[in-house]
Amino acid sequence: MALALSAVEPNPSGDAPYLRIATEEAYASREFLSAVSQLVDEGVDDPGLAAFFGYMLHSEAPRPTFVRERLPDLGEARLSDMDATGIARQILSMAAPGPNPFGADRGTALARNANDELEDACQRQPDRFSALATIAPQAPNAAAAELDRCKSRGFVGAIINSHVQHEYLDAQKFWPIFEAAESLDMPVYLHPTTPSKALIGPMLDRRLEGAIFGFAVEAGLHALRLIVGGVFDRFPRLRLVLGHLGEALPFWLYRLDYMFKAGGRRSRESRAARPPSEYLRENVWVTTSGMPWEPAIMLCRDVLGADRVLYAMDYPWQFEMDEVRAHDALPLAPDEKRQLMQTNAEYLFGLR
């Protein structure tokens, strides 16, 4: 059963003067989906995972059904969806929660299997697919080794689906991952998942823990912890990618800097040498995943720089032809639109 998509029609802009490269496009193997389902059924100690993914994995409603069908597909159905919406290339990445909630050995094995499947897909469709490496951050040294293995197999970056059993990656035990990503020159896409236990409480009873709000709170907080925690002072060439137009951080830029200068820098907990905006403009790229909204896209281009904002669809969670059209209709010059839709991604992920 496919979701009825009223707006989808044959590629309406095959003549667009740019390639559409979609940079946050989810994949999950059937093995992975059933492993997460089992975690939820066994009463995993993660209320967000239980609530949100319990729904996504079990509901028979059209959207979760469509997502469950499409996540494992790396063949005809996905390619035909790409053709229908004029997507030249997807940069594939492991769906949330990724291997993060599993034990170290199980997570590492799941990551490796996912990467083998992704590598096969990219080899079958070299003109349509690229992929980010899946890693299990709870085993930091194994994760660093997996990045190295994946780099040699053509992966163009790594994905981390936010908190790791309620811990954040500014904790130094995780830094072998950043050290590897920096030295291998692989951008790290910090993707949301449902908020950690300490953060999620007041979101659950109003069902705000998912992509409606909780995802952005979780991933925005995580990114800010990396910045303030000194990750980019230690790894100045590390490149971080945030979806959903930077998880609201660009909107906060003035006040982040003001309050950092007013007091945050003096606190023992902040190790960052410079105000947050400097890292956001030098180490961070943002994608438009799920946010096909002109005022927000233009704000990000304005405050971060036009070379830092790139297109993403957020397939299969959001699969809307109108959202592609909204990007095509942005009030940008042709070369600026090409930068947003194509060349920023080519540069960031080394696609040519």
The residues annotated as belonging to the active site are 314
The whole-angstrom separation of Cα 243 and Cα 93 is 12
Joined tokens for residue 111: 């990551």
Q: Which is nearer to Ca ion, 314 or 323 (CB)?
A: 314
Query: How near is the Cβ of 284 to Ca ion at its closest, in Å?
Result: 17
Q: Which residues pair with 129 in a beta bridge?
A: 90
Q: Does 182 sit near Ca ion (CB under 5 A)?
A: no
Q: Which of 28, 52, 25, 32 is nearest to 193 (CA)?
A: 52
Q: Does 218 sit near Ca ion (CB under 5 A)?
A: no
**Distance from chain centroid for Cα 227:** 17
Pairing mode, strands 188-190 and 158-160: parallel
Q: Which residue is nearest to Ca ion, using beta carbons?
A: 314
- From residue 261 to residue 300, what is the string marking binding to Ca ion with x (rule CB under 5 A)? ----------------------------------------
Q: Which residues pair with 22 in a beta bridge?
A: 90
Query: How near is the Cβ of 332 to Ca ion at its closest, in Å?
Result: 24
Q: Which residues pair with 240 in a beta bridge?
A: 188, 284
Q: Which is nearer to Ca ion, 89 or 228 (CB)?
A: 89
Query: How near is the Cβ of 211 to Ca ion at its closest, in Å?
Result: 8
The piece of 64-72, 217-225, 249-257, 307-315 that touches Ca ion (CB under 5 A) is 307-315
Q: Which is nearer to Ca ion, 175 or 215 (CB)?
A: 215
Q: By the 8 A CB rule, do 97 and 193 touch? A: yes
Query: How near is the Cβ of 204 to Ca ion at its closest, in Å?
Result: 21
DSSP codes of every residue in 16-71: -SS--EEEEEEE--HHHHHHHHHHHHTT-S-HHIIIIIHHHHH--SHHHHHHHHHT
Query: How near is the Cβ of 208 to Ca ion at its closest, in Å?
Result: 17
- # of chain residues touching Ca ion (CB under 5 A): 2
Q: By the 8 A CB rule, do 159 and 189 touch? A: yes
Residue 29, C-beta contacts closer than 8 angstroms, at least 6 positions apart: 72, 113, 114, 117
Q: Which is nearer to Ca ion, 97 or 140 (CB)?
A: 97
Whether the CA torsion 128, 116, 45, 161 is positive or negative: it is negative
The piece of 38-46, 80-88, 169-177, 311-319 that touches Ca ion (CB under 5 A) is 311-319
Q: Which is nearer to Ca ion, 46 or 314 (CB)?
A: 314
Report the site for Ca ion in 327-346 (rule: CB under 5 A).
none
Query: How near is the Cβ of 318 to Ca ion at its closest, in Å?
Result: 8
Q: By the 8 A CB rule, do 143 and 176 touch? A: yes
Report the site for Ca ion in 85-144 (rule: CB under 5 A).
none
Q: Does 314 sit near Ca ion (CB under 5 A)?
A: yes
Report the site for Ca ion in 17-76 (rule: CB under 5 A).
24
Q: Which is nearer to Ca ion, 44 or 96 (CB)?
A: 96
∠ CA 178-240-128, nearest 5°, is: 110
Chain residues that interact with Ca ion, rule: CB under 5 A = 24, 314
